[in-house]
Each structure stands twice: as C-alpha cells, then as structure tokens.
C-alpha cells in the first residue's frame, strides 16, 4: 500500500478563501473588519516565523492584525497589563499570545487573563473545559485543524482506536478530547509510556505531536492507518523533519500528512476561523466550514 497524501496546504487555502468571502460580505453590510491582536515575546526564531505567517494570513483574508512585539525581558505584570487593555479594546476581537514564553513568565497565569471570548487559540482553561464537557466554543487551532483534515478524507471515528503521542496542553490533550467527542477510543502516549511501539501498532488513527525527528518508525504503522504528523523540527542541515519516518510509514498507511504542508497551514486557517467566531461573524454552535 502507498498512502495518499493529506494536503493540508490545499484544504487550508480552501478554508481561507471561504473566510475571505465571509469577511467581504460582512464589510459590504457595513461591519468593521475583525481585529486580531498578535503578541510575540522575545526573538525565538521558530515563533517569529509562525507569527509572521499568521499576520500574513490575516492580511490575505481581510482580518486587521495589531502586532505587539515585546522584549524578552518584559515583566509578567507588564504583559498582563497589555492583555487587560486588549480585553477591553472594542476593536480587538481575538488575542493570540505566541508560546513558548520566556522563563520569568508563568504562561498559565497569563493565559488565564485572556478574556475567554477573545481566546482564539482555545488555550484558556474555560475553553478547554468546554471541550472536555463536549460543548466546545473556541477550540484549540491545531487539534481542530486536524479534525477538519480527517473529515476532509471522510475518516471514520466510531469504533476506531486513535493513538496520540505527546500530551501537551496545546496539541495532545485537546486532540484526545476532539477524537473522544468524535467517537474514537483514545490512547494518549507520553514520556512515561512503556513500549511506545505496542500502542502505535494498534492505531487506526495516529497523531504524533512530539517534536523529535522520526521518533515514530515506519514499521510500527498499522496497515491502512491514517497518520497525522504534527512534529516539525529543523535538522542541522536546514531541512525540516516530522515525528514520523515518512517514506517507510507511507508504505503501510492509507493516508498520511506531509511535513511541511500538512498540519501547519490548518493551524493558521483555524486561527482565522476562530477570529471570525470571536468577532460574531459566525453563529456559535454552527460551524461554517460545512465540514463538521
């Protein structure tokens, strides 16, 4: 078997085109463009690239992005003061605080300060709690983007074993909740898991979000599985590597995401979608991608 590629770049482009049309239509009705505040603390090279991509995507669809680039030695209180100001700013519908943050800042404490209605990353305890209760409002971008990709290939969920590798607050945990809502039996593997290959071999749906190049061996992949690779790491030679041994996995899987061009573009597309939601452009409880 040779797996078919799940083309996240193409699906994200479709979603972005749809978002652009929605914004255009609302502006014709006299509404102001949605506003997204983007906060980057420090100079982390990967974060700088992610933030640039997000701001460019805003521009492409007609979202007004307001950029705050803060020094790496900023005090926690100053960052919290900025967030309070953005919470009260009527032109700001969404607040994106790029992670990770420098060591002197307690990320949870700061994330707790973001108004949950402006939490377009879906990282606030309120939004994660809503997802845990299977009545999500703003959903974390990467896991939700992955669900949209899986829907796109008409993935069956009920009765399937979904195995997630990596238990972060950003990807692994909300991913487990999404797949649980969809009806899969979910296993989450993490640094204390004994015998990772044992679990990966059982996966009908495998989502790996570790960030260690080729930690998932191709020979572990179940025949006919769907493989989603969230990991993206730059090797010393400058090339990008996913968590999964791509060529070997491709021989066994039915579907697989490439790195790059798989999950990454979907994270950005969902951020834009969440900003529309936060701005009241999209009826909550009804998703507008027509997919899920």
Give the catalytic positions in this structure. 54, 98, 121
Euclidean distance between CA atoms 122 and 40, whole angstroms: 17
Decide if residue 175 touches ligand GUN (CB under 6 A): no
- Residue 122 Cβ vs ligand GUN, minimum distance, rounded to whole Å: 9
Sign of the Cα pseudo-torsion (172, 176, 177, 181, in order): positive
- Residue 137 Cβ vs ligand GUN, minimum distance, rounded to whole Å: 17
Across the beta sheet with 161-165, what order do the strands follow? Answer: 4-5, 255-256, 226-229, 205-208, 161-165, 185-189
- Residue 135 Cβ vs ligand GUN, minimum distance, rounded to whole Å: 22
**141-152 and 172-182 helices cross at what angle (nearest 10)?**
40
Q: Are strands 255-256 and 64-70 parallel, antiparallel or unpaired?
A: unpaired
Summarize the annotated binding site as residue ranges.
Answer: 166-168, 232
The one-character DSSP state at 244 is B
Q: In the complex with ligand GUN, which residue's Cβ is closer, 225 or 230?
A: 230
Distance of CA 117 to the CA centre of its chain: 18
Summarize the annotated binding site for NADP(+) as residue ranges.
Answer: 166-168, 232
Among 199, 205, 166, which residue's Cα sits nearest to residue 183?
Answer: 205
Residue 97 sits at φ, ψ, to 5 deg, of -105, 110
Q: In the complex with ligand GUN, which residue's Cβ is closer, 26 or 173?
A: 173
Decide if residue 267 touches ligand GUN (CB under 6 A): yes
Decide if residue 142 touches ligand GUN (CB under 6 A): yes
- Residue 108 Cβ vs ligand GUN, minimum distance, rounded to whole Å: 13
> CA dist 164 to 14, 82, 107, 175, Å?
27, 35, 24, 8
Asked if residue 260 has a cis previous peptide bond (ω within 30° of 0), the answer is: yes
> CA dist 253 to 61, 62, 182, 228, Å?
34, 38, 21, 10
- Residue 54 Cβ vs ligand GUN, minimum distance, rounded to whole Å: 8
Candidate segments 90-98, 128-136, 176-184, 197-205, binder of ligand GUN by CB under 6 A: 90-98
Candidate segments 70-78, 92-100, 131-139, 221-229, binder of ligand GUN by CB under 6 A: 92-100
Closest residue to ligand GUN using C-beta atoms: 99
Structure tokens at 244: 């999964």
Site string for ligand GUN, 192-231 (x = CB under 6 A): ----------------------------------------
- Residue 121 Cβ vs ligand GUN, minimum distance, rounded to whole Å: 5
Among 145, 158, 182, which residue's Cα sits nearest to residue 257?
Answer: 145
Among 288, 207, 188, 187, which residue's Cα sits nearest to residue 253?
Answer: 207
Site string for ligand GUN, 47-86 (x = CB under 6 A): ----------------------------------------
Candidate segments 91-99, 146-154, 177-185, 215-223, binder of ligand GUN by CB under 6 A: 91-99
Exactly one of 63, 128, 141, 149 binds ligand GUN (CB under 6 A); which one?
141
Candidate segments 96-104, 146-154, 176-184, 241-249, binder of ligand GUN by CB under 6 A: 96-104
Residue numbers at the binding site for ligand GUN (CB under 6 A): 96-99, 121, 141-142, 170, 267
């Amino acid at each position: 078997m040779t797996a078919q590629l799940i083309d996240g770049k193409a699906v994200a482009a479709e979603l972005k085109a749809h978002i652009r049309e929605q914004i255009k239509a609302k502006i014709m009705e006299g509404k102001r463009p949605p506003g997204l505040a983007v906060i980057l603390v420090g100079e982390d090279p990967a974060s700088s690239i992610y933030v640039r991509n997000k701001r460019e995507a805003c521009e492409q669809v007609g979202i007004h992005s307001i950029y705050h680039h803060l020094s790496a030695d900023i005090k926690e209180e100053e960052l919290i003061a900025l967030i309070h100001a953005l919470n009260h700013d009527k032109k700001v519908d969404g607040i994106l605080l790029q992670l990770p943050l420098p060591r002197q800042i307690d990320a949870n404490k700061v994330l707790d300060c973001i108004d949950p209605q402006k939490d377009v990353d879906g990282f606030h305890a309120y939004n994660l709690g809503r997802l845990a209760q299977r009545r999500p409002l703003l959903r974390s971008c990467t896991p939700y983007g992955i669900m949209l990709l899986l829907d796109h290939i008409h993935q069956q969920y009920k009765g399937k074993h979904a195995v997630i590798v990596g238990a972060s607050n950003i990807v692994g945990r909300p991913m487990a909740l999404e797949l649980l809502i969809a009806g899969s039996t979910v296993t989450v593997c993490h640094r204390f898991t004994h015998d990772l290959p044992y679990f990966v071999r059982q996966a009908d749906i495998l989502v790996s979000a570790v960030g260690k190049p080729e930690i998932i061996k191709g020979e572990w992949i179940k025949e006919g599985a769907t493989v989603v690779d969230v990991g993206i790491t730059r090797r010393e030679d400058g090339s990008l590597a996913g968590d999964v041994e791509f060529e070997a996995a491709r021989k066994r899987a039915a579907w697989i995401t490439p790195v790059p061009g798989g999950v990454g573009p979907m994270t950005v597309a969902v951020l834009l979608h969440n900003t529309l939601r936060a701005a009241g452009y999209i009826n909550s409880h009804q998703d507008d991608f027509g997919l899920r």
